[in-house]
Amino acid sequence: MSQLAIVCSGQGAQTPDLFTRFPFTEKGLTLRERILEARCLDPEVGDWLADPSRDPSAVFQNHYSQPLICLYQAMVWAEIADLLPAPAMIAGYSLGELTAYFCAGAISPEDVVRLAGIRAREMDAAGPRGKLIAVTGLSPVRASSLDGALLAIVISEDHCVIGCAADRAESLARDLLDAGARDAVVLAVTVPSHTALLDGAVEPFRSALQQVAWQDLKTPVLAGISAAKVMRREQMEQVLPEQIHHTVRWDRIQQRFQESGCRVVLELGPGNQLAHMAVACGIEARGVDEFRSAEGIAEWARATMARLG
């Protein structure tokens, strides 16, 4: 069995120069043109992609960032998939769970980017603006017990992400520090993902998901809310929308990697936060952002797997 797991990043590490951070070749660039020609992006998002310098901060707005990140990840996967050993499983952190189904062969890249745009619009429309706060040094149970705090993501016994209304974020970050947190950092996102504040986005996204074409998965995808293996369409249609308003259990994902013998993790980016989390659990991990070529990524994966036996 393969020792390799692929993880798809969520929002937070995207930057205006996102599409220059990987050395894309004809494979990735051709996919990008195909997706643009299919009009998978909203017009204003496509205009931004043509010239990010016109409004660099737009990449942090939800309805820009979600489809752009999925496009970036699809392009990266197009570059490296054929060079890598076949992964044992694939997981996605928050938004990245959508891209995971493309990497697993279930959904086309065009549909992934379209669905990301729909997901973003429905999340924006679901309720009042919100924020997410990354919390370390405090248990998820304690952190989520504070007034206005909603548990969005569990990463470990002392690391989590808390959601809240936008006007509560700064004061809640201070309250978390007062409660004993080592750090409480308000993230550069505009919606309180994985909390009940987004209940209204779930069924519209599920309806859109049910309309896309589906192929049998080549690799199991781990559900973000439970770490259960997903291999069938009806499973995906249940769990993928549910993570919009339910807590993501990344702690269970990492535990599943360890229990399944996945000793090497590659993060598609943007960023390498998930790789750092895996390293903290004793797993060999890196992000594609750390390499200068697709060949270098594949060489690292193969060499690391060979070294670990």
Distance CA 116, CA 264 (A): 28
Distance CA 160, CA 162 (A): 7
Per-residue pLDDT tens listing for the chain (309 residues): 689 999 999 987 888 999 999 999 999 999 999 999 999 999 999 999 999 998 999 898 899 999 999 999 999 999 999 999 999 999 999 999 999 999 999 999 999 999 999 999 999 999 778 999 999 999 999 999 999 999 999 999 999 999 999 999 999 999 999 999 999 999 888 899 999 999 999 999 999 999 999 999 999 999 999 999 999 999 999 999 999 999 999 999 999 999 999 999 999 989 999 999 999 999 999 999 999 999 999 999 999 999 997
Q: Where are the domains of the chain?
A: 4-126+196-308, 130-186
**Which fold would CATH assign to domain 4-126+196-308?**
Malonyl-Coenzyme A Acyl Carrier Protein; domain 2 (3.40.366)
Element (H, E) at 100: helix 96-103
The two domains 4-126+196-308 and 130-186 share their CATH topology (first three levels equal): no
pTM for this prediction: 0.95
Distance CA 8, CA 94 (A): 9
Q: Which amino acid is at 98?
A: L
Structure tokens at 2: 């393969």
Mean pLDDT, the chain, whole residue set: 95
Q: What would the pLDDT profile of 105-127 be if each residue is shown by its tens digit?
A: 999 999 999 999 999 999 999 97
Distance CA 88, CA 301 (A): 13
CA distances from 265 to 58, 165, 173, 277 (A): 30, 34, 31, 10
CATH class of the 130-186 domain in this structure: alpha beta
Helix, coil or strand: residue 292: coil
Q: What would the pLDDT profile of 8-63 be if each residue is shown by its tens digit?
A: 999 878 889 999 999 999 999 999 999 999 999 999 999 999 999 989 998 988 99
Distance CA 138, CA 135 (A): 7
> What residues pair up with 154 in beta bridges, in sequence order?
160, 249
